[in-house]
Amino acid sequence: MLSMSHDRQPFVHRVTRRPFRTSGFTLVEVLIAMSISLVVIMSLYSAFTLQYKNINVQEQVAEMQQSARVAMDRMIQDIRMAGYNPTRALASPAIGTINAAADSIQFTLDVTNAAGTGIPEGDTQDMNENITFGIFTSGDIQRLGRKAIAGGNYQTMAEHVQSILLTYYDRNGNILTAPVSAPSEIRRIKVSLTVRTAKQDPNYGYRTFTLESFVTPRNVGF
């Protein structure tokens, strides 16, 4: 018999391995992402800072304007009553303006009595019967003040006042030189009040506001 032999080779299973790679970002990608994030954050911060400054400025402007209007209303109200004396006879002289300067005004009126009950008694020695409006400085802040009695202290009407200008007119509309030597000739007064914000705007400086008004003292010269 013939014998047949076969050469058998062992079976080898070959596994192809792919390069191992972990998931994530490279250092360059991280740096780029951080740079973009920083730019976005800085943009948001700049926008927030600008908005905050604008809001702060608007609040200061609103406060400045409101303060000026309140002070002006009080001045007009008091000046309009200058010389008021319901107890005097028509033939007697009116209690009128005492001092009419360019930056201050002082006048008298009879609106109450010593007890402060609101009943005029024919003199001007009581509270709120000898009124002065003028500029004074307190705490390094220039203010518009009001005195309610001769020799009294100023009560603050408005802060951060740059100037106050009073212009006086006679019955013909002519301007009287201040201080007015004959206050009985005054028939009309123009009040110009200029105030500024408490703080400076870094890009603008102090913001100012000027308020003007005319007033006719009803009881002076009659």
Amino acid symbol at 194: T
Coil, strand, or helix at residue 120?
A: coil
Condensed to tens digits (0 to 9), the pLDDT of residues 112-157 reads 888 878 788 877 788 888 999 999 999 999 999 999 988 889 999 9
Residue 186 burial by Cβ neighbours in a 10 Å radius (0-12, 13-18, 19+): buried
State the DSSP code for 200: -
Condensed to tens digits (0 to 9), the pLDDT of residues 149-188 reads 888 899 999 999 999 999 999 999 999 999 999 988 999 9
Amino acid symbol at 98: I
Which of 14-18, 26-30, 137-141 is predicted most confidently? 137-141
Pick the more confident residue, 31 or 220: 31
Element (H, E) at 66: helix 27-80
Coil, strand, or helix at residue 64?
A: helix
Condensed to tens digits (0 to 9), the pLDDT of residues 42-91 reads 888 777 777 777 777 788 889 999 999 999 999 999 999 888 888 765 44
